[in-house]
Amino acid sequence: MAIVKPFRAIRPTRDKAPFVVTRSYEEYSRKERDAKLQFNPFSFLHIINPGFKFDKKVSGPKRFKLVYNRYLEFLEDNILMKDAMRCFYLYQVEKGSLKASGLFCATSVDDYRQGVIKKHEATLKKREELFADYLETVKFNAEPVLMTYEDNPQIASVIAKESEKYPEYEFTTPDGITHRLWLINEQDTVSGLEAAFEDMSNLYIADGHHRSASSDLLAKRMQAKNPEHRGTEPYNFFMSYLIPESEIRIFEFNRMVKDLNGLSKEAFLMQLDEYFRITNKGSSLYKPTKKHHFSMYLDGEFYSLFLRRKIYEFTDALSELDTQILFKTVLEPILGIKDLRNDQRIQYGFGKHNVIRMKDEIDAGNFSVGFGLVPITVDEIKAIADEGLVMPPKSTYIEPKLRSGMAIYEL
């Protein structure tokens, strides 16, 4: 049974919404970020990069306090406002063939602890603690955890009906994505959505594992400080964006490795032959087509690698994952890469044109070999989570990517 609640969001006033919302801070180049900070006084970047006001880089607890101050200023200047009623917020993003409609809501920390909310990635304790420190100081959550749920006719009917109404926001950002937001606060509809989620056994985290873990840590801290803790306080929940499985888009990350771990090209290919049927595809761009099928670019040529199923043993959902297969058959035993997160010899790339970028990087001598994979599926993510397993880093690139500042949850 999943606990999903409406909440009173802090959000941009209608006239300023297109100017407030931002992509994730890390997605901007420094030049682009500085331009937005200089020429757009309403950008949420001013809140998360408060040192810009003083032309000074700040970090740690000092930055956290300044973030809170900028947040209060945005409220005082009526750039942000707080809704009078608790709402579910229907948020739709659309670009080309991508059209995703989901709900901003409050999800339960206790559900996360009990495994109702399931995860498939490991988190780093240091990052958990840092972000919990941040949340404790700024007292708000502006980046939702992206979760998915099994397609549900009742919820789909509500979303379809509500999206026929005139939206609170509707605007298109320079990257070509159209954003629409509706407020759902009619009591029968709200109760129906809550009941529909209560009937679900599980929700699955798609993106935001560290945000979830940090919210759990924060809740433990706040409970310890509150002798009258009842379990209904805002810190017992965290903001999520819930989207049906059918509307999640999953893309693959390619892998590029700087060297062959001291092996010659011929010796490397011979070692690969133990686990793969290898076919030279020449210099034309080549991508894998199905599960357990990989592409490789080496010394100016593409290769097809088909896993020899009689040699490789499948023991659980993780062992069937292509990113794990590549790690266990090539990256670790042959190329000597044991730490996929921190080893500087490996880099990752994603996107429609990444096979071209991978080829260019290798041709330029920046890397020696690259591997292409097919995208992991929602069913594979769920199987990993259901078995309590953890995917290798950079197994999935998931869309939609959500804007910061569209809706804010006060802790």
Candidates 58, 32, 36, 56; CA nearest to 46 is 36
- Which pTM does this prediction carry? 0.93
With a cut of 80, say whether residue 351 has pLDDT above it: no
pLDDT tier at 97, thresholds 50, 70, 90? confident
Cα-based distances in Å from 155 to 135, 152, 162, 195: 31, 6, 11, 10
Dihedral sign for Cα atoms in the order 284, 285, 291, 296: positive
Nearest to 358 by CA among 293, 289, 268, 367: 367
Q: Where along the chain do its domains lie?
A: 4-250+399-410, 253-395
- pLDDT (tens digit per residue) in 251-307: 999 999 999 999 999 999 999 999 999 999 999 999 999 999 999 999 999 999 999
Mean pLDDT of 50-77: 94
Task: Report CA torsion sign: 261, 262, 265, 269.
Answer: negative
Half-sphere exposure of 252 (CA within 13 A, CB side): 22
120, 385 contact by CB (below 8 A): yes
Asked if pLDDT for residue 111 goes beyond 90, the answer is yes
CATH architecture of the domain with residue range 253-395? 2-Layer Sandwich (3.30)
Tokens of 181: 């937001």
100, 147 contact by CB (below 8 A): no
Task: Pinpoint the alpha helices (H) of 163-277.
Answer: 187-198, 209-225, 265-272
Residue type at 265? K
The total of other beta-carbon atoms located within 10 Å of residue 148's CB is 23
Mean pLDDT of 129-133: 96
Chain-centre distance for alpha carbon 392: 15
The model's confidence at residue 310, banded by pLDDT at 50, 70 and 90, is confident
The candidate with the shortest Cα–Cα distance to 27, out of 246, 173, 217, 241, is: 173
